[in-house]
Amino acid sequence: MATPPSLSLSALPLAGLRLVLEPLRVEHAQEMAPLLDDAGLHVFIGGRPASRRELQEQYRSQVVGRSPNGLQCWLNWVLRRREDGRAVGTVQATVTEEQDEPVAEVAWVVAAPFQSRGYAREGAQLIVAWLRDQGVVTVRAHVHPEHAASQGVAQAVGLVKTSTVVDGEVRWEA
């Protein structure tokens, strides 16, 4: 039986060379909905673009920071460029407990106009380094086998491709 994560984590502001990561707030839906309203983003991540209202509801549940059963710790950030303060995407980590050790599942999404600029890589590197500082032992990501850019991000944060496939996505892990 799963147990709640031993770590009690909350998303904190993080800063990199070009990005500031803001802990997610419900109000971010106003700004993020138009950026994420792109069917092309969902080719690899699944689903469909959410309306502003749907995104507000999603964010409302995510900012709680824990799953309803308490078995997952939810950490979500908006990626914001330092140069102009513009939001460009999101990163997230879901922390669980496996064999008495914290495990984080990380993910990233960058809006199409801002892709191929290294924002996903920088954001993912920031959260993975922060998670490690918090005592997270294992980090994972699940990446579509045809999504070369996300495979590159996974490699950049030190994850290694495994033979495990979950819902059509390959597990990367370190």
Domain CATH for 86 = 3.40.630.30
What pLDDT was estimated at residue 46? Answer: 82
Of the candidates 103, 93, 129, the one whose C-alpha atom is nearest the C-alpha of residue 6 is: 103
3-state secondary structure 72-99: CEEEEEEEEECCCCCEEEEEEEEEEEEC
Contact predicate 109/45, CB 8 Å = yes
For residue 60, tell me if it sits in a domain. Answer: yes
Of the candidates 142, 148, 155, the one whose C-alpha atom is nearest the C-alpha of residue 105 is: 142
**Distance (Å, whole) CA 91 – CA 86:** 15
Give φ, ψ of 160 to 5 degrees. -120, 135
Question: What is the bridge-based pairing of β-strands 73-81 and 19-23?
Answer: antiparallel
For residue 169, tell me if it sits in a domain. Answer: no
For residue 78, tell me if it sits in a domain. Answer: yes
| pTM (global) more than 0.85 | yes
Per DSSP, the three-state class of 167 is coil
For residue 153, tell me if it sits in a domain. Answer: no
Contact predicate 76/11, CB 8 Å = yes
For residue 132, tell me if it sits in a domain. Answer: yes
What letter does residue 131 receive in the DSSP assignment? H
**Distance (Å, whole) CA 16 – CA 118:** 12
For residue 149, tell me if it sits in a domain. Answer: no
Q: Which amino acid is at 11?
A: A
For residue 171, tell me if it sits in a domain. Answer: no
Q: What range does the domain containing 98 cover? A: 14-138
pLDDT of the chain, 174 residues: tens digit per residue = 455 556 689 999 999 999 999 999 999 999 999 999 999 888 888 889 999 999 999 999 999 999 999 999 999 999 999 999 999 999 999 999 999 999 999 999 999 999 999 999 999 999 999 999 999 999 999 999 999 999 999 999 999 999 999 999 999 999
Contact predicate 22/90, CB 8 Å = no
